[in-house]
A = this chain, B = another copy of it.
Amino acid sequence: MATLPMVGYDDAPPEVRAVYDDIMETRKTDWINNFWKVLANDPPTLARTWNSIKEVMAPGALDPLTKELIYVAVSATNGCEYCIRSHTAGARRQGMTDAMLAELMAVVGMANETNALANGYAVDVDAAFLKDAR
């Protein structure tokens, strides 16, 4: 039970149906996952969020699988179960194997460990990294 009700396809107003149709066509699926059904309570937020995701996750300088891996990495760090499960599924659709998932998690784990160490010791940024930044 989310904090707002889910809007099913049959009950959806036309502008929500248009987004649902685009989601299913873009993803080559015949169903809409709960996240969008909850966002649909506010059609402008649904449309804006979907259009952003669609633009951001499209192939570009990074391929779609790399983008899904990054999404899982952020979601694991934030502890967002919904996001972990939906984007792990998304990454599998893009070809992620069990070995790739295991390596992804190993990197995410080490990154969280060393983030805590660098912050906890208040390590000064090396001049070389600042110069390198631009």
Number of copies: 6
Query: Which residues of B have CB within 8 Å of A97?
Result: 61
A4 to B127, CA, bound (A): 16
Task: Give the residues from 31 to 86 in chain A that come closer than 8 angstroms, CB to CB, to chain B.
Answer: 31, 33-35, 38-39, 41-42, 44-45, 48-49, 52-53, 55-57, 60-62, 66-67, 69-86
Size category, A interface: 35 or more
Assuming the contacts A42-B99, A62-B107, A99-B61, asked whether A119 and B84 have C-beta atoms less than 8 A apart, the reply is yes
Main DSSP-derived SS at the A contact region: helix
B35–A114 CB distance below 8 A = yes
Asked whether any CB of chain B lies closer than 8 Å to the CB of A12, the reply is no
B71–A69 CB distance below 8 A: no
